[in-house]
C-alpha cells in the first residue's frame, strides 16, 4: 500500500509540474512574441518551381503584402482570363538580366529570381503596361519593415517574360499560387 501511495504522489507531482509549465508558456508577454498562428510551410520548399504558360498576357502591376507567417508578392495579369500564367522561380547566386547578361545587384542574404510569362508591354502595340526600369527597385512597391523581403529589382521584360530579382533575408521556403488573374509568390519568415 505504501508503494502505491508513493507512485500516486509522484504522478500528482508530475501532473502539477506539467500544468505549471503550460501556464508559464501561455503567459508569455504579447510584445515581441512570435505570431500566434501556426506557420505550416512543410510542403513549400526552396527548390526551383515552374509551370508552362497558357498564354503571354501583359503584366500590369506588382504589389506586396505582409502576413504572420510569410511575405507575399502578387503579379497582376488582368487579361489572363483565368488561363495559367507560366513562371520559373528559384534561388540564384546572382541576378543576370535577360538579353544583355548584365549583373544586377540585389540586396539581402539570398536572391529569388522570378520569371513570369507576362511581358511588361502589350505585344500587339509595344506600349508599356508596367513601368519597371532595369536595375531599379519595383515602382510603387515599398518593403520597408518586411521580415523576409529585403530588396526588389526589375531586371527585364524579354521575349514575353518579365524578370524580377527579390532579395530575401536568407534562402527560405516559398510557394507559388495561381489565382484567376494573379500569380502569387509567398516566402516564409523561417
Q: Where are the domains of the chain?
A: 1-30, 49-188
User: What cell numbers appear for 120 in the block?
Assistant: 511588361
Give CA angle at 23 (19, 28), nearest 5°. 155
- Would you give per-residue pLDDT tens digits along the chain (190 residues)? 444 344 334 433 444 433 333 333 323 223 333 444 588 888 899 999 999 987 789 999 999 999 999 999 999 998 767 788 899 999 999 999 998 999 999 999 999 999 999 999 998 899 999 999 999 999 999 999 999 999 999 999 999 999 999 999 999 999 999 988 899 999 999 9
The whole-number pLDDT of residue 5 equals 45
Q: Cα-atom radius of gyration of the chain, to the nearest Å? A: 24
For 149, how many CA atoms within 13 A lie in the half-sphere containing its CB? 27
Tell me the three-class secondary structure of the chain, residue by residue. CHHHHHHHHHHHHHHHHHHHHHHHHHCCCCCCCCCCCCCCCCCCCCCCEEECCCCCCCCCEEEEEECCCEEEEEEECHHHCCCCCCEEEEEECCEECCCCCCEECCCCCEEEEEEECCCCECCCCCCECCCCCCCCCCCCCCCCCCCCEEEEEEEEEECCEEEEEEEECCCCCEEEEEECCEEEEEEECC
What pTM value is reported for the model? 0.78
The CATH class of the 49-188 domain is mainly beta
Amino acid at each position: 500500500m505504501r508503494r502505491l501511495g508513493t507512485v500516486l504522489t509522484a504522478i500528482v507531482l508530475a501532473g502539477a509540474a506539467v500544468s505549471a509549465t503550460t501556464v508559464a508558456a501561455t503567459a508569455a508577454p504579447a510584445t515581441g512574441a512570435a505570431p500566434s498562428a501556426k506557420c505550416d510551410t512543410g510542403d513549400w520548399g526552396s527548390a526551383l518551381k515552374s509551370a508552362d504558360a497558357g498564354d503571354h498576357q501583359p503584366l500590369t502591376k506588382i504589389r506586396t503584402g505582409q502576413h504572420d507567417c510569410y511575405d507575399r508578392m502578387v503579379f497582376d495579369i488582368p487579361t489572363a482570363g483565368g488561363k495559367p500564367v507560366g513562371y520559373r522561380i528559384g534561388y540564384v547566386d546572382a541576378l543576370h538580366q535577360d538579353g544583355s547578361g548584365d549583373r544586377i545587384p540585389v540586396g539581402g542574404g539570398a536572391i529569388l529570381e522570378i520569371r513570369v510569362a507576362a511581358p511588361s508591354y502589350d505585344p500587339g502595340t509595344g506600349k508599356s503596361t508596367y513601368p519597371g526600369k532595369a536595375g531599379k527597385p519595383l515602382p510603387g512597391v515599398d518593403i520597408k519593415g518586411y521580415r523576409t523581403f529585403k530588396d526588389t529589382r526589375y531586371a527585364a521584360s524579354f521575349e514575353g517574360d518579365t524578370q524580377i530579382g527579390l532579395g530575401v533575408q536568407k534562402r527560405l521556403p516559398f510557394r507559388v499560387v495561381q489565382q484567376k488573374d494573379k500569380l502569387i509568390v509567398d516566402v516564409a519568415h523561417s
